[in-house]
Amino acid sequence: MDNRVLARFTALILVLAVFTPVAVAAVSLSSLFSLPLPDDLPDPRPPEGSQISRIYDVNGEEIGQFREFELNTPVKMEDIPEVLKQAVIAAEDRNYYSHDGIDLRGIARALVADLRGGKITQGGSTITQQYVKNAYTTNERTFGRKAREAILASQLDSKADKEKILFNYLSSIYLGEGAYGVGAAAETYFRKPVSELSLSESALLAGLIPSPSRYEPRANPGAAESKRVLVLDQMRSQGYITEAEHVAAKRERVFRGGDLEPQRPATVVFPPAPAFTKYPYFVDYARRYLERTLGRDMVYRGGLKVQTTLDPKLQADAEKAVTDSLSGTLAPLEMALVSVEPETGFVKAMVGGRDFNAPQGQVNLALGKCQRPRSDLPDDKIDVEATCWDADYVTVEGGGSGRQPGSSWKPFVLAAAFAEGILDTRVYRAPSEYRFKDCKGDQCVVENFEGTAGGSATLRKSTENSYNTVYAQVIEEIGEPAVAEMASKLGISSAWVASPEVHGPSYALGVQEVSPLDMASAYGVFATGGRRLEPTPIVAIKDSAGEFVVDNRKRKPRRVVAEIIADNVTDVLKGVITAGTGRAADIGRPAAGKTGTSQEFANAWFVGFTPQLSTSVWIGDKTGNVPLMNIKGVERVTGGSIPAATWKAFMSEALKDLAPAEFRTPLSLTSTSTTTTTIFDPNATTTTTTLPLDPNAPPTTIGPFGPPSTSVPGETIPPLSTSTTSTTIPPTTTTTRQRGLLPF
């Protein structure tokens, strides 16, 4: 056989090898498309990406966002501008409105290339096919998938409106930088809703579709610009825009926005939106709380609308008080402040340090940590377990370890003593130091830190002057477990005790580590006469469909301590401010509180309350228990110095627009009045009298969600009740203007 015959034979074999499969495939596809189609399409997959959860203060102003990298922003069909649809059709599928979901010529052209290459290399897909791939099939590059995709595209085109298919496609297509759909892309690149996109911006988005990473305008502005111009050229050649529009849009070159403003018309692509830095400690607390209660998936992907309890005026007051107190000092000296509304449990303000964004920052010292006992301690040796050990209890940890409260722990001992029948008039020996009974070793002697002593003193006077030696005798009488149980009931989630294996009489003096949040919340129970609501940063939450997920505006408190005990503790603590170690906290209106200083002056506290607010202030070294010496002219920092002055500065501003409110007059204690009453009944029905926060203020609808949800979906929600039962939310503690309803 000569060379020419051999060459022709070889060419024939190659032609048959290439075109026979094409012919077979074409016949097969033709047969498939000519067959009757099934009646029902499979259910489409949900759109990829997540939805932003938006966080609002109590007035409805946005203060934060929670989102994953992948983002999907739902849009309505009427939101998508015509110019964007035209840009996408011109770039991706010029025959979209005329074909039947597939383009046979395009498929054949791609199939030849695929068969020659032995694998899928070309698309040739219509918009309908691309949507089918995203919604119904997989991304595997096989001939079987392409055939199924074509069949489903033809079926979908015969059953669905073209505009609906295009809308679904535009709502789900990936456009880079984690943005799924044109709604998310418009916000991601241009910081505007999709309905406001210009011709040039629409062309840029359409150009991203084939390869979002290649044409991503932030990383590859040159490639993005070339692709944008190409799409504009296609729009012009297909008659979607005029020559004047074409010329004007081409001049709007891609410009990476930021600090500089373009000097001429441009297609400004903004850098990624920065995370909110306003109120970072409170937003951090809300994030941790939401993750703990709803789960990360709901928080970062669920498109929630979260109205928080944060009052911007009180938050500003808190930040100023902390900043002023720390001025002239340097890290690692830190301060934390938390303020809670006793009647609602709403956390109104939170500062967890001097700078959340400082190097090695983002540790929220307003939140503590759930400490567990050593692993070799048998369970049967633990007398009282911490509530934070309970998996069902909402514990919000913030990276801080918690700090010893010193004498600010004593109100819990006092409440436990009252519950055991000990009166505030009981007289004790009050030496400057005291040795615990039957104690051996070098930890047996306790001294007074915050007041001198000598002779004898009543329990009331010992509280006012913070006599450690008296409280050592009290806990020897009532036992450490009674104190731990009382602290736990009041809201100290970290309170536990194992006596004598771990704890001894020094438990009365504040060796249990606590958080500023728990302390503010627990003291608030005294303000309410023994009724408790768990602290929360959340007023209400709606999901992406506008349905309530959480509504805390009608929570009912539970009684944890007898009213006579709570009111008498309050009465004693009033004397701390008027005549004791907390005189620097006097704000000229009824208030109660307690100073606290831990061992070696390593932590200093003032925790106090009025009927409207309960606030804790802590100061200490971020790195650990370092003595607080010679700070701002104070030789040894105690709770009655810088913390008390900070508390006064904050509370004076926070309450200045409210009329002073009086505490209830307590019933007189007797040795039997507290022991014959059931103190703790979480199931008891409670009737609450709203405290006179502002006698002239009407009941207030709190925040942007309107009245609490008390009805089934579709019913009209009634206004808030004006009764004084436990379902009434008292008037807001500030004069911050309410913004009414948000368009949720």
Render 440-470 in DSSP notation, one character per residue. -SSS-EEE-SSS---SEEEHHHHHHTT-HHH
3-state secondary structure of 244: helix
Residue 133 inside a domain? The answer is yes
Angle at 18 between CA 15 and CA 20, to 5 degrees: 90
- Residue 105 CB-density burial (10 A; 0-12 exposed, 13-18 middle, 19+ buried): exposed
Claim to verify: residue 86 and residue 152 sit in the same structural domain: yes
Whole-number pLDDT of residue 106: 61
- What's the CATH code of the domain at 231? 1.10.3810.10
Q: Please state the separation of Cα 358 from the chain's center in Å.
A: 20
Where does the pLDDT of residue 14 fall: very low under 50, low under 70, confident under 90, or very high at 90 and above? very low
215-229, 257-271, 579-593: which range is least confident on average?
A: 257-271
Please give the residue that has the higher pLDDT: either 32 or 367.
Answer: 367
CB 525 within 8 A of CB 503: no
Claim to verify: residue 491 and residue 527 sit in the same structural domain: yes
Alpha helices in 327-458 (DSSP H): 410-419
Residue 265 inside a domain? The answer is yes
CB 60 within 8 A of CB 739: yes
Whole-number pLDDT of residue 740: 37
Strands (E) located in 167-297: 179-180, 254-256, 267-269
Whole-number pLDDT of residue 133: 80
Claim to verify: residue 413 and residue 448 sit in the same structural domain: yes
Whole-number pLDDT of residue 236: 97
Tell me the percentage of the chain whose pLDDT exceeds 90.
Answer: 53
CB 520 within 8 A of CB 607: yes
Residue 377 inside a domain? The answer is no
What does the block give as tokens for 541? 């939450």
pLDDT at residue 284 is higher than 70? yes
Claim to verify: residue 492 and residue 615 sit in the same structural domain: yes
Whole-number pLDDT of residue 125: 83
- Residue 185 CB-density burial (10 A; 0-12 exposed, 13-18 middle, 19+ buried): buried
Whole-number pLDDT of residue 144: 62
pLDDT at residue 199 is higher than 50? yes
Claim to verify: residue 559 and residue 614 sit in the same structural domain: yes
Whole-number pLDDT of residue 688: 34
Residue 557, domain extent:
281-351+384-654
Beta-bridge partner residues of 594: 607
pLDDT at residue 411 is higher than 90? yes
Claim to verify: residue 262 and residue 316 sit in the same structural domain: no
| Average pLDDT, integer, range 22-42 | 46
CB 154 within 8 A of CB 35: no
Whole-number pLDDT of residue 391: 82
Where does the pLDDT of residue 262 fall: very low under 50, low under 70, confident under 90, or very high at 90 and above? confident
Claim to verify: residue 559 and residue 505 sit in the same structural domain: yes
Beta-bridge partner residues of 608: 593, 615
96-105, 352-361, 447-456, 520-529: which range is least confident on average?
A: 447-456
pLDDT at residue 624 is higher than 90? no
pLDDT at residue 20 is higher than 50? no
Q: How far apart are CA 476 and CA 626, in angstroms?
A: 29
Q: How far apart are CA 32 and CA 26, in angstroms?
A: 10
- For the chain, give the number of residues: 744
| Average pLDDT, integer, range 429-441 | 85
Q: How far apart are CA 642 and CA 640, in angstroms?
A: 7
Say how many CA atoms lie within 13 Å of 11 toward its Cβ: 6
pLDDT at residue 274 is higher than 70? no
Please give the residue that has the higher pLDDT: either 45 or 572.
Answer: 572
Residue 703 inside a domain? The answer is no
Torsion sign, CA atoms 720, 723, 725, 729: positive
Angle formed by the axes of helices 312-326 and 642-654, nearest 10°: 150
Domain count, the chain: 2
Q: How far apart are CA 541 and CA 565, in angstroms?
A: 36
CB 615 within 8 A of CB 649: no
Where does the pLDDT of residue 438 fall: very low under 50, low under 70, confident under 90, or very high at 90 and above? confident
Q: Which of 234, 269, 304 is the last residue of a domain?
A: 269
Tell me how crowded residue 409 is: count the other CB atoms within 10 A of its CB: 29
Q: How far apart are CA 147 and CA 129, in angstroms?
A: 10
Whole-number pLDDT of residue 707: 43
Where does the pLDDT of residue 179 fall: very low under 50, low under 70, confident under 90, or very high at 90 and above? confident
- What's the CATH code of the domain at 398? 3.40.710.10
What does the block give as tokens for 40? 């029902």
Tell me how crowded residue 33 is: count the other CB atoms within 10 A of its CB: 16
Residue 290 inside a domain? The answer is yes
Residue 336 inside a domain? The answer is yes
What does the block give as tokens for 4? 């020419």
Claim to verify: residue 206 and residue 293 sit in the same structural domain: no
Dihedral angle over CA of 159, 162, 167, 172, nearest 10: 60
Claim to verify: residue 426 and residue 462 sit in the same structural domain: yes
Residue 576 inside a domain? The answer is yes
Claim to verify: residue 436 and residue 489 sit in the same structural domain: yes
Largest alpha-carbon pair distance within the chain?
129
Q: How far apart are CA 72 and CA 303, in angstroms?
A: 9
Q: Which of 244, 269, 294 is the last residue of a domain?
A: 269
pLDDT at residue 390 is higher than 80? yes
Whole-number pLDDT of residue 717: 25
Where does the pLDDT of residue 503 fall: very low under 50, low under 70, confident under 90, or very high at 90 and above? confident
Q: How far apart are CA 707 and CA 551, in angstroms?
A: 10
Q: Which of 654, 685, 701 is the last residue of a domain?
A: 654
With CA atoms as reference, report the closest residue to 614 among 638, 583, 647.
647
Claim to verify: residue 540 and residue 646 sit in the same structural domain: yes
pLDDT at residue 682 is higher than 70? no
| Average pLDDT, integer, range 135-160 | 70
Residue 63 inside a domain? The answer is no
- Residue 544 CB-density burial (10 A; 0-12 exposed, 13-18 middle, 19+ buried): middle
What does the block give as tokens for 679? 């103190």
Beta-bridge partner residues of 163: none
**Cα-atom radius of gyration of the chain, to the nearest Å?**
35
pLDDT at residue 720 is higher than 60? no
3-state secondary structure of 572: helix
How are beta strands 267-269 and 254-256 bridged, if at all? Answer: parallel
What does the block give as tokens for 508? 């009365």
pLDDT digits (tens, 9 = 90+) for 291-310: 899 987 888 878 999 999 99
Beta-bridge partner residues of 532: 558
| Average pLDDT, integer, range 392-402 | 77
pTM: 0.69
Whole-number pLDDT of residue 702: 38
φ/ψ of 340, rounded to 5, equals -125, 140
Highest mean pLDDT among 71-75, 294-298, 548-552: 548-552
| End-to-end Cα, the chain, rounded Å | 83
Is residue 670 within a helix (H) or strand (E), and if so which, with residue range?
A: none
3-state secondary structure of 346: strand
Claim to verify: residue 256 and residue 291 sit in the same structural domain: no
